[in-house]
A and B are shown apart, each in its own frame.
Chain A
Amino acid sequence: MNASAIATIVPCWSCKGPVAARALFCSTCGAVQGPGSIDHFTRLGIQPTFDIDLEGLEKQYFGFQRRLHPDRFAAKSGKEKALSQAQATSLNEAYETLKDPLRRAAYLLNQLGHPVDLTACGTINDRELLMEQMEKREALADSTTAEQVAKLAMQAESEVIACQCHISAAINASNLEEAGHLTIRLKYLAKLAEEARAKKSRITRLP
């Protein structure tokens, strides 16, 4: 990270004087600045780790939105309105990415130089995972009573949590290869858990 000192000082669009490239507001004239391209963790002012405190994340998100949301700029000039919209959009993207364990894991691994392709379907390496998931899916499809579905939903939920713990351990041990596989596994587990939850509420809703 050879951040150049020269590049970190940029002219403020409003007063044209020097301002830190990552500043939210110009220290001289107070004008809101653009969101720039910083990573989601830095944007929300938290440490880049998988083990984040969700309450703390939300607190930071609310704190930044309080200052930067377009509602704070409704009576300002068009340029300031546009910049605040860009800032709020970046904050939303960062928050939405980091609050979801699956997206957070994928994002963090990408930042650490080990990208995971979540859109790709299972590769040969994941054959075992695919078989396992197919079996569980069938079990869910075959279950008919509320008790059966509730049991599967709970099982899926606890597997999701266990997988998250394993991802955390793998990342903390710098075992990114392993963390990548686990992240793909988490994607399937989360999907199954969601389907189980949906089926559970469908069944319990019936009169």
Chain B
Amino acid sequence: MEEITALLVSRYNYWAFIVLMMVGLYGMIAKNNLVKKIIGMNIFQTAIILFYVSIGAKKDATIPIIEHGHHGEEVVIKAVDYINPLPHVLMLTAIVVSVATLGVALALAIRVYRQYNTLEENEIKSQLSEE
């Protein structure tokens, strides 16, 4: 039991992202309303973004901007003192991708609504089977 608690506490960022990811996945697969599916999709993508952001963070580290000495002297740079900026930069791109996906998804949802006059999946399915 203690081991499990230790695992939960020491790796809480991973647990948080797993829980969020599962919430999103559930929303995408199990929800009936198309907009709720889109919200699930967004939660799912955000979970992965948070995962990336958390792997770049370090305890007692600062932002990765190197301060040059005022009089031109060489400053020793220790990588340990800085958080890893790369995952964060990658996630800027991933956020853009997820916003674009959201836009396309909502646009498609509008077209679906114009076609079937509903956004509930079961009602659309019953319309399809009537044909």
Q: Do chains A and B stick together as partners?
A: no
Which A residues fall within an 8 A CB radius of B?
A: none
